[in-house]
Structure 1
Amino acid sequence: MQVALDDYVWAAGLATELVNTAAAVWHGEDHLPDLASLVTFTELHGSDSLTALARRARVADLRAVHELRTTVRELIDHPAPDRLVAASALTASVGAITLLADHTPPRWTASLRPGATVADALSLACGVGILGVVRALGVDRFRACGAPTCRGAFIDTTRPGRRRYCMPGLCGNRVNVANHRARRAAAREGT
């Protein structure tokens, strides 16, 4: 598996999705409880090579993914620049950096070492995403979800940098519906 260093938007999105599978985000329900859910996660958010690694995963690999998820969550929750760079450099240490000079323009990629696990691949992607966002967008893009009932977190890679929710389609809609209902109730009380 290779991750282009300029693909930090995809990689940061993968890190966000991984973090938001935790039981704390879903009020006690872990969204990566077993190996089958890990395969499904990589099919939805990863690449074919990541999914192939997930299909060969063992229970120990799943535990390593859970540990990675905790590490990435701590980085998002406490985004001090020096801490992010140091920790994500360690996270990305499972691969080798290569210059692909035959591309126009040339591209730098991070590749997994032979024998890497799915946890190694996710670690590499998360490290590239975190380092890319720190370099290109800044540490203020690491945020907690703005929905009052959500415990999710995310890395905002949108151009304007105004994303407020970890899952806009879910958390954002819940907030909008609650606001709409509150306005309707206030209007009924005022008439």
Structure 2
Amino acid sequence: MDISITGYTVGAAVGGDLVGTSPTVRGDAGEALPDPGALMRFLSEHDVRLDAVADRRGPSADDVRDVQLLRREVRGILETETGDQAVAGGIVLLRRAGRSPVLRREDGGWQWYVPTEPGAPLAAELAALIAVGLLGTVRALGHERFRACAAPGCRGVFADTSRAGRRRYCMPGVCGNRLNVANHRARRRTGSAAR
């Protein structure tokens, strides 16, 4: 697999979304990656094409366990206090399957890529993709873009790679909507009580 260095936002998004699959974040909804089928759906939904699952090979139960463990490490990196700590954690992840960067001519220009080791396990390839994303975020946008979800009661974390840098929720479509509905209901209660 070749991971684009300039397309780091993909890996950062996958990392944040992976953390969001945890029962720690999902609460009563439980584990979002309980089996190989769920892991394959996660990869497909994020358009992640790992060499480890090429040629119609699917993930194994061991892959699921390894990705669940990776998820904890990604969360730890997103919760670091300094950029230096985040970079150190990202480098550890990258070394699992990442090789030396290569420069290739594409579409009349040059592009940087991090290839992964041939035959690398699924979780190691995924770790390299996420590492490039997190390292790219620190380099391009700064460590302050690693954030905790602003929704009350949510334990999600994410890397904000938005242009404006104002993202507040780990899952805007879930946490943001949930908070908006709660605020709307509170306003309605306040309005009806005032009558």
Q: TM-score, normalised by structure 2?
A: 0.92
Select 1:86's aligned residue among 82, 85, 88.
Answer: 88
Letter of the aligned partner of 2:20 in structure 1?
A: N
Q: Deviations over 1:9-60 (max 9, x none)?
A: 1110011111110011111501011111111110101333468259443222
Runs of 4+ in 1 over 3 A off after TM superposition: 48-51, 53-56, 101-104
Secondary structure of 2:25 counterpart: coil
Asked if the contact 1:42–1:50 (Cα under 8 Å) also holds between the matched residues in 2, the reply is no
Unaligned runs of 5+ in 2: none
Letter of the aligned partner of 1:32 in structure 2?
A: L
Letter of the aligned partner of 2:74 in structure 1?
A: V
Unaligned runs of 5+ in 1: none
Letter of the aligned partner of 2:66 in structure 1?
A: A
Query: How do 1:70-85 residues align onto structure 2 when only pairs under 5 Å count?
Result: 70-85=72-87
Q: Deviations over 1:139-182 (max 9, x none)?
A: 11111111102111111000010000011111101101111111
Asked if the contact 1:14–1:46 (Cα under 8 Å) also holds between the matched residues in 2, the reply is no
Are positions 1:16 and 2:19 aligned together?
no
Q: Could you tell me which residue of structure 2 aligns to residue 68 of structure 1?
A: 70
The alignment covers a number of residue pairs equal to 191
Query: Which stretch shows the higher mean deviation, 47-56 or 142-151?
Result: 47-56
Q: Could you tell me which residue of structure 2 aligns to residue 151 of structure 1?
A: 155
Q: Deviations over 1:93-135 (max 9, x none)?
A: 1122211135533111011111112101110111000100000
Q: TM-score, normalised by structure 1?
A: 0.94
Q: RMSD of the TM alignment (CA)?
A: 1.7
Are positions 1:39 and 2:40 aligned together?
yes
Letter of the aligned partner of 1:107 in structure 2?
A: Q
Asked if the contact 2:36–2:58 (Cα under 8 Å) also holds between the matched residues in 1, the reply is no
Letter of the aligned partner of 1:24 in structure 2?
A: T
Secondary structure of 1:106 counterpart: strand
> In percent, how many aligned pairs have the same letter?
40
